[in-house]
Structure 1
């Protein structure tokens, strides 16, 4: 059955069947061929797996991101970021990355971050003479930070799959997310210096920074409320997601007055479609993963991996390579649900803290957002700029290398992830 399910899944991916459907269909094919388990097993998993209080955070964070993206919050965060780094060489590229870091503390989603920031920053960078491929690649890469800096939908999934604290995962993601942003900024600065991209004419000053922070005070208050409420024990991550929706709605409609009532229908529809897509993946991936568990495939993979070497460094490097490859072909959430029960026991067996390993796993899979053929951030960025996917895939390679270097730093310096716990 194990061989059948993987072969069926591979064939469906080659046929470009959507990942959520491919996971469910491959499990059904394996059951029909081998007949050891009733077909109702998959139907049951599709419903029971999403019947979870922590998973309520997913549709709420998606809705919060949509509301904030259309409520005028993005452009105010951009103004703050530009006041901080805009005058530096390649200032607009650095501004785009810093803005993605700000928005990551609100949205919890990579594609939502690219859409919210890229729709403003990519045209602005191109207008100032930046290469359109570089501009799109920068925003697509920085959008990956959306799932590293909390709140993060993949962190919710890892917490559920690995039975670890979602609040601890959120706390652990802060410094690694900032470090990924800094790594991307280093490359963006180097490229801008070589290409001759100047900063904005207005020099960085305390007064200008203070002015922009004051103008964006309500936008900047949102992550403080969300994360402060979680870490202060006022509400759970799931409740925080609902609070984010309420706060974003109030600010977008009544404070900034840029989110109109007529816009809400589109916001709800887009959020519902994205939530449905994610939850179908969750249900299918859970059934897929349980079939693997029944066949004891996770144990066999774990034993095989440990048999290759008893060296802690070699094992974690093999896991990272596996995650990077999987990220090229599989949705992040599906990968977390399927691989966490397999890889987490191996990581803990060789001495890795479950929270630290969770950050390693999420950063590695976040790189998958910009690696074809399933690099969803590339598709969103290309949709905004009109750049062909092939050209964008080449432009993003140096940024992928920068993220991999940061991933290795995070892996071998646990302090960066665990300092706040």
Structure 2
């Protein structure tokens, strides 16, 4: 066990990537111990990605890339300006609302930061906001990406913990909205303290148009539900609602209705049993292609090819992390290291609330040094047995571990969102870190609520019958 852990840490200290360190540490342990045939490394790494849920990974990544090149980010930004740009700290509020909408399509914090972040930071700087404030609010809002469904970390966690990915998606809705309110309140606090007003004049027509778009999107699932209650089949009701939506969009030329429909289609389709979370990822890609090629006609063969190659590159890195973490996690289990760590934690406390506090501290620490996907793959085999033993719902724990790791993406030394925003804003990593620190306050408040108020996470999937 000690050979495995120390070789992994040693390779990381030498500056090797986390995935290489895990694979290399596993190989060193196997070669020195001689207890496991060498071929097991290849077998375990292959079996680690032989999973149907993992097919969702490349498709969600592709959907996010397609949304970016289809010009949908710009439409989302314009919609957010119409909805909340008149509030105090206008573009800060726009930043958050834009991230909420984009979260329903991309599923990753890095895609949010890189996609909308480049638009938002430039716009806020042009309107006179301090660069540090623009960077901080962009980093905080980007964490909503993996909390509001769909979510790549939820896919990996659901596979590792053997829980419903659809239930995880639904469980993230209320916590995501709660975090949104906290962040908007934080923007209002800064705006009042600094005397910032709105960035666009209040206009009833513009606000009414944006509100109408929201009402139309909300009316689609409601109309389907009412039609089903009236005796119409689900397929016919959904088809009729969809055709009506396209007609309204064509007639009134709404800027964001079809973009806002993406999370409704994904969550509604999974809830009604039309498709699994993996198939929902394919649906997200098809929807993005429909918007880019048919409705908005903003995609070209060149941009489509670029999005495809970017997806291949990102998917390869993600799946390599999964394969390396799979063999490492398997060795942690077979060497009894995971069991020993679990027993040690249980010897300290058997109170679930104290354990959740310890788990939060551990995950936060790990998230500062290890990639999100690798951290989930390593930590779940260690912590999940304790979670089940202490009668903590694994769905709730999935939200806890994901939000912790999202906070890790904002902090040095290895926070990817931190480095993406430093590059976009042209600030040093040190100044970017200082800009992000105040925004940890609403995130920690949200983390405490998700950790110690289970109903915040579990109420909605329970009402939809996804969990007991």
Match of 1:145 in 2: 144
Match of 1:273 in 2: 313
- Give the whole-Å Cα distance in 2 for the aligned partners of 1:62 and 1:322: 28
Match of 1:323 in 2: 363
Match of 1:368 in 2: 408
- 9-18 or 202-211, which moves further after superposition? 202-211
Deviation of the 1:9 alpha carbon:
1.8
Q: Per the alignment, in what secondary structure is the counterpart of residue 26 of structure 1?
A: helix
Match of 1:252 in 2: 292
Match of 2:169 in 1: 170
Which consecutive residues of structure 1, in runs of 5 or more, have no partner in the other structure?
A: none
Which aligned pairs between 1:99-118 and structure 2 lie closer than 5 A?
99-118=98-117
Q: Deviations over 1:363-390 (max 9, x none)?
A: 1111111011111111111121111111
Query: Quick check: 2:83–2:211 contact (8 Å CA) kept in 1?
Result: no
The one of 392, 395, 414 aligned to 1:355: 395
| Alignment of 1:219 onto 2:259 | yes
Q: Per the alignment, in what secondary structure is the counterpart of residue 145 of structure 2?
A: helix
| Alignment of 1:40 onto 2:20 | no
- 406-415 or 181-190, which moves further after superposition? 181-190
Query: Quick check: 2:127–2:199 contact (8 Å CA) kept in 1?
Result: no
In the superposition, relative to structure 1, how do residues 379 and 201 fare at CA in structure 2: closer, same or farther (>3 Å)?
Answer: same
Deviation of the 1:204 alpha carbon:
5.6
- Give the whole-Å Cα distance in 1 for the aligned partners of 2:257 and 2:349: 52
Deviation of the 1:201 alpha carbon:
2.8
- Give the whole-Å Cα distance in 1 for the aligned partners of 2:212 and 2:172: 29
- Give the whole-Å Cα distance in 2 for the aligned partners of 1:15 and 1:69: 36
Q: CA RMSD in A?
A: 1.4
Match of 2:200 in 1: 201
| Alignment of 1:341 onto 2:340 | no
| Alignment of 1:128 onto 2:127 | yes
Match of 2:6 in 1: 7
Match of 1:31 in 2: 30
Deviation of the 1:212 alpha carbon:
6.3
Deviation of the 1:184 alpha carbon:
2.1
Query: Quick check: 1:90–1:192 contact (8 Å CA) kept in 2?
Result: yes
Query: Quick check: 2:368–2:411 contact (8 Å CA) kept in 1?
Result: yes
| Alignment of 1:385 onto 2:425 | yes
Deviation of the 1:211 alpha carbon:
6.4
- Give the whole-Å Cα distance in 2 for the aligned partners of 1:204 and 1:212: 16
Query: Quick check: 1:328–1:368 contact (8 Å CA) kept in 2?
Result: yes
The one of 275, 281, 293 aligned to 2:333: 293
In the superposition, relative to structure 1, how do residues 316 and 204 fare at CA in structure 2: closer, same or farther (>3 Å)?
Answer: farther
Q: Per the alignment, in what secondary structure is the counterpart of residue 361 of structure 2?
A: helix
- Give the whole-Å Cα distance in 2 for the aligned partners of 1:53 and 1:408: 33
| Alignment of 1:190 onto 2:183 | no
Match of 2:89 in 1: 90
| Alignment of 1:20 onto 2:16 | no
Deviation of the 1:198 alpha carbon:
2.1
Q: Deviations over 1:248-290 (max 9, x none)?
A: 0110122112221211121111111000000000000000000
In the superposition, relative to structure 1, how do residues 9 and 192 fare at CA in structure 2: closer, same or farther (>3 Å)?
Answer: farther
Which consecutive residues of structure 2, in runs of 5 or more, have no partner in the other structure?
A: 215-253, 462-468
Q: Deviations over 1:327-349 (max 9, x none)?
A: 10111111111111211121222
Q: Matched residue pairs, number?
A: 420
- Give the whole-Å Cα distance in 2 for the aligned partners of 1:81 and 1:200: 12
- Give the whole-Å Cα distance in 2 for the aligned partners of 1:273 and 1:64: 14
- Give the whole-Å Cα distance in 1 for the aligned partners of 2:132 and 2:11: 31
- Give the whole-Å Cα distance in 2 for the aligned partners of 1:204 and 1:293: 60
- 268-277 or 355-364, which moves further after superposition? 355-364
Q: Per the alignment, in what secondary structure is the counterpart of residue 87 of structure 1?
A: coil
Match of 2:66 in 1: 67
**What TM-score results when the alignment is normalised by the length of structure 2?**
0.87
Query: Quick check: 1:137–1:381 contact (8 Å CA) kept in 2?
Result: no
- Give the whole-Å Cα distance in 2 for the aligned partners of 1:26 and 1:240: 36
